[in-house]
């Protein structure tokens, strides 16, 4: 490895991996807490409609905003590579491009909110009372769209800069303020569903401002406002390619999860409820694995920018070792405490029994999915997004084939088997593409 490569990539140690990963894991842990408080405060109103309105409204907006999640992943890979190459000007210019995309997209959502929401409510119909309250909720929250989308970019930029503690600070600020305002506006002032929406808008707007403050080092380089640098055609085209591939890949993976819910509904309400409970095991696993996958994004991106194949391989192995260790621990935890976790999520005896029938699949999920999760991080860092897109499409095809082959024979167990097969397919196909990724580091 050259002296430049060593300086650009830095020492690859276990301490460095944990310094990046642990704050991300803690940051992710704050997300379900906020959702629980949102539901809890409107639940104190003593009516079902406000709970349903917040649930539907937040799902619609979260799904729409999630489509722009490519800004988090694409920004991390591109900024990490620019840092590895020692191109501080591009690091600054990337933040400007990200903010232009975020605010343009957010303003478009505000302008076209009426047809967007009409389409959303066609897909997710509700009672007249719930829909009216949900529209009130969305009509307020939509105004934070530019800021909510910008936060994806700030987060990606900070992660690539190995400032995951700043990401934790940002999440603690937003979620902590949101919770405090929820309690004040809803329980103190009696603003109901609108109070929950206003609390979130304030949290997201101030969160974006705090995010910009945390990324202020980008403004020290003059290229952040250089039109020639920011609007460089080749770099903008590459950024568009990366982000488009990631968005398509995310839609393909979402298709697997949504179809899983639809297929599960075909086995009856009891199985549907049990599946919903068990999906929380997968969410918990993903939250834990994100920290190490994000670490892989940073180290691999820097190594590729520095053209160091050895650093790329070492970083991929080191972060994956920790990911594998965490996945094994989670498998053991689910095996020992899985039943107790189910019991805390539902008090319905029939749902508890049904969920336990499928618990062995949850015990297998962390180990079955380790390859997919970690290689996702590695490929994002290398911005090999075309491979990610194509392998996700292949995994979707394998999943659907497994569903139609296994569910007639094994029922809901066949459906869970198909989901795990999709994780294995994505991990194996990305592993097949990995050697070419390493070769790119030397070009």
d(CA 200, CA 211): 16
pLDDT tens by residue, 273-298: 788 778 878 888 888 898 899 999 99
Q: What is the pLDDT of residue 278?
A: 84
pLDDT range class, residue 3, cuts 50, 70, 90: very low
> DSSP label at 69?
T
> If we measure between CA atoms, which residue out of 65, 58, 60, 59 comes closest to residue 196?
58
pLDDT tens per residue, range 385-400: 999 999 999 999 999 9
Is the pLDDT assigned to residue 6 strictly greater than 50? no
Whole-number pLDDT of residue 47: 64
| The pLDDT value given to residue 126 | 62
Q: Quick one: tokens of 102? A: 């975020």
Q: Which residue has the higher pLDDT, 99 or 440?
A: 99
Give the pLDDT confidence score for residue 2 in this predicted structure.
Answer: 46
Q: Is the pLDDT of residue 172 over 80?
A: yes
Query: Phi/psi at 400 (nearest 5 deg)?
Result: -65, -40
Picking from 179, 393, 373, the residue whose alpha carbon sits closest to that of residue 286 is: 373
Q: Is the pLDDT reported for residue 247 higher than 60?
A: yes
Contacts 24+ apart (CB under 8 A), 180-189: 182/37, 182/38, 182/41, 183/37, 183/41, 186/41, 186/42, 186/44, 186/45, 187/41, 187/44
Question: What is the pLDDT at residue 69?
Answer: 85
Least confident stretch, 308-322, 343-357, 415-429: 343-357
CB atoms within 10 A of CB 228: 8
At a CB cut-off of 8 Å and minimum separation 6, what does 414 contact?
A: 402, 403, 405, 406, 407, 408
Q: Which residues contact 329 (CB under 8 A, 6 or more apart)?
A: none
pLDDT reported for residue 234? 92
In angstroms, the CA 109 to CA 139 distance is 11
What pLDDT, on a 0 to 100 scale, did the predictor assign at position 1? 44
CA terminus-to-terminus distance, the chain:
14
d(CA 387, CA 50): 43
């Amino acid at each position: 490895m050259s002296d430049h490569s060593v300086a650009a990539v830095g020492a690859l140690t276990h301490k460095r991996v944990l310094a990046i990963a642990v704050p991300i894991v803690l940051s992710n842990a704050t997300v379900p807490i906020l959702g629980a408080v949102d539901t809890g405060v409107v639940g104190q109103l003593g009516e079902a409609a406000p709970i349903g309105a917040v649930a539907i409204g937040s799902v619609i907006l979260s799904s729409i905003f999630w489509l722009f999640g490519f800004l988090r992943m694409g920004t991390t890979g591109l900024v990490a590579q620019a840092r590895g190459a020692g191109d501080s000007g591009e690091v600054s210019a990337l933040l400007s491009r990200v903010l232009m995309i975020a605010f343009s997209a957010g303003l478009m959502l505000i302008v076209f909110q009426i047809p967007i929401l009409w389409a959303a409510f066609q897909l997710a119909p509700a009672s007249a009372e719930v829909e009216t309250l949900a529209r009130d909720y969305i009509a307020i929250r939509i105004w934070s769209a530019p800021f909510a989308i910008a936060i994806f970019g700030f987060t990606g930029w900070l992660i690539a800069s190995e400032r995951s503690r700043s990401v934790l600070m940002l999440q603690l600020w937003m979620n902590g303020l949101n919770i405090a305002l929820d309690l004040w506006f809803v329980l103190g002032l009696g603003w109901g569903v609108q109070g929950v929406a206003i609390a979130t808008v304030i949290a997201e707007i101030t969160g974006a401002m705090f995010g910009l403050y945390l990324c202020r080092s980008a403004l020290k380089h003059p290229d952040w406002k250089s039109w020639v640098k920011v609007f460089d055609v080749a770099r903008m085209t590459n950024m568009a390619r990366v982000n488009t591939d990631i968005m398509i890949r995310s839609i393909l993976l979402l298709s697997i999860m949504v179809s899983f819910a639809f297929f599960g509904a075909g086995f009856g309400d009891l199985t549907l409820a049990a599946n919903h409970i068990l999906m929380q095991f997968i969410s918990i696993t993903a939250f834990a694995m994100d920290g190490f996958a994000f670490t892989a994004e940073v180290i691999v991106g820097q190594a590729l920018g520095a053209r160091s194949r050895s650093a790329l391989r070492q970083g991929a192995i080191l972060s994956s070792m920790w990911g594998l260790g965490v996945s094994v621990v989670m498998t053991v935890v689910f095996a020992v405490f899985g039943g107790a976790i189910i019991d805390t999520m539902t008090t319905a005896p029939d749902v508890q029994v049904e969920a336990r029938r499928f618990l062995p699949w949850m015990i297998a999920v962390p180990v079955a999915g380790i390859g997919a999760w970690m290689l996702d991080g590695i490929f994002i860092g290398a911005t090999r997004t075309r491979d990610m897109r194509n392998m996700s499409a292949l995994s979707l095809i394998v999943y659907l084939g497994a569903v139609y082959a296994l569910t007639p024979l094994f029922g809901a167990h066949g459906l869970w088997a198909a989901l795990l097969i999709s994780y294995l397919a994505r991990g194996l196909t990305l592993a097949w593409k990995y050697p070419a990724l390493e070769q790119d580091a030397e070009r």
